[in-house]
Amino acid sequence: MNNQNASLLLIVILSHITGTTLAEELNITAAQLDNIGVAFSLPQVTELADDFESPARVRIPPTNDYAVVPLLSGTIKRLGVSAGDSVRKGDSIAWVGSPDFLMLQGEYIEAFHQMQLLQVRYANDRILNDEGIVSTRRLSESEHEVEDRHVAEQRLHHSLVLAGLEEAEIIALRDSLVLQPYMILRAPVDGVVLEEYRTAGQLIDPSQAVFRIADMSTLWLEIDAPFMKSLDLVPGGTVLVKQRQRNITAKINNIGRNVNPATQTVVVRAVVENGSELAPGQFVTAVFTKIRSEKYLLLAISSVVRKDNQDYVFVQRPNGVEVRKIEVVRQAQGRIIVGSGIDASEAVAIRGTAALKARWLGIGGGE
């Protein structure tokens, strides 16, 4: 192996070990760049805005907010929890007397037993078909009857689960033929009962919630931030809320794009870490802090091209153009905030990027 091949092999091995991708360069002359309309410019250096405060509301993420609603109509016989109580998933929290629930149990038992009978008949038909006593058509009809009854049994089985019966209770129901007297409402999640809508003795139907239960492990801050200041915010930025002489930390995960015309603010959402003392509906003051101390770079959005869900720019080089992967922190007002990948001293293509991308990908060819 000659020295040149050995050097190339070493580069490939090092690249594989370190997980890095070697820079890709396009050999293109200055005259060619002019012909395809490429222009370069240095990035603009920027810093995040200084700390500032904004009013915020504490709310529950929609995915963590549950309404406990009966599957069937009935009368509330007893409530097991009240607003403010903690519950575990599956806890019995209300008992409802429901004639419809008794009827559903009876229909399930009938469907289950009919399915068993049809399965026995189908097994016998298979034996008789093998012996040439019954036709293939008769066997096919028996098979379809079993499948139809199985679907009916499964539909009723899932209805009983939705009505509050657990799997062991459904098995006991079909074995003992003893109907459960009450439809049980159960907690859908580990959480806290936020609201109690009904009282014992009330008639309820599937359109009426009995409780509102929330998983409080994650909360959101919805912050009304001034639009101009929001341009300097980035996802992952830190938000602080002072509560009882201590700071509660949240991380920005969404920056609104819709500006309130009356207040010139946008809604910024931050996720509060577990174990906070905040409560849904509470109004607090949120303090935005810098995500990190180093500076960012601003580029025109026209400078960036995408390939395989990655962002790239074209960096000017003496003998052509280098394709460089970058970290885009945020996009706002036709500009992007770059976290890493380029330096402030490196000129980046701001025009003609479409032509450079085509050349990079080998589309079109020519000069």
Please give the Cα distance from 317 to 27 (Å, whole number). Answer: 9
The H-or-E segment that residue 145 falls in is helix 136-162
* Residue located via tokens 């098995």: 171
Q: What is the pLDDT of residue 275?
A: 59
Convert the pLDDT of each residue in 153-186 to its tens digit.
999 999 999 988 999 999 999 889 999 999 999 9
- Mean pLDDT, the chain, rounded, equals 83
> For residue range 316-341, what is the model confidence (pLDDT) as tens digits?
888 888 888 888 876 766 777 787 88
171: its two tokens: 């098995």
Biggest distance spanned by C-alpha atoms of the chain: 92
- Asked whether the beta carbons of 39 and 271 are under 8 A apart, the reply is no
Copy the structure tokens of residue 133: 């006593």
> Residue 18: which pLDDT band, with cuts at 50, 70 and 90?
very low
pLDDT digits (tens, 9 = 90+) for 81-99: 999 999 999 999 999 999 9
Residue 231, token pair as written in the block: 């341009």
Is the CB of residue 357 less than 8 Å from the CB of residue 305? Answer: yes
12 has pLDDT over 50: no
- Provide the pLDDT for residue 171: 92
The whole-number average pLDDT for the span 288-296 is 63
Phi, psi of 78 (to 5 degrees): -160, 145
3-class DSSP state of 318: coil
Mean per-residue pLDDT, 94-110: 94
13 pLDDT tier (thresholds 50, 70, 90): very low
Which of these, 30, 29, 26, lies nearest to 357 by C-alpha position? 26
Q: Is 213 helix (H, G, I), strand (E, B) or coil?
A: strand
User: Residue 122: its pLDDT value, please?
Assistant: 85
Closest Cα partner for 286 from 256, 250, 255?
250
Query: H or E segment at 331?
Result: strand 320-332
Q: Under a CB-based contact definition with an 8 Å cutoff, are residues 255 and 85 in contact?
A: no
Is-contact 318 273, C-beta < 8 A?
no
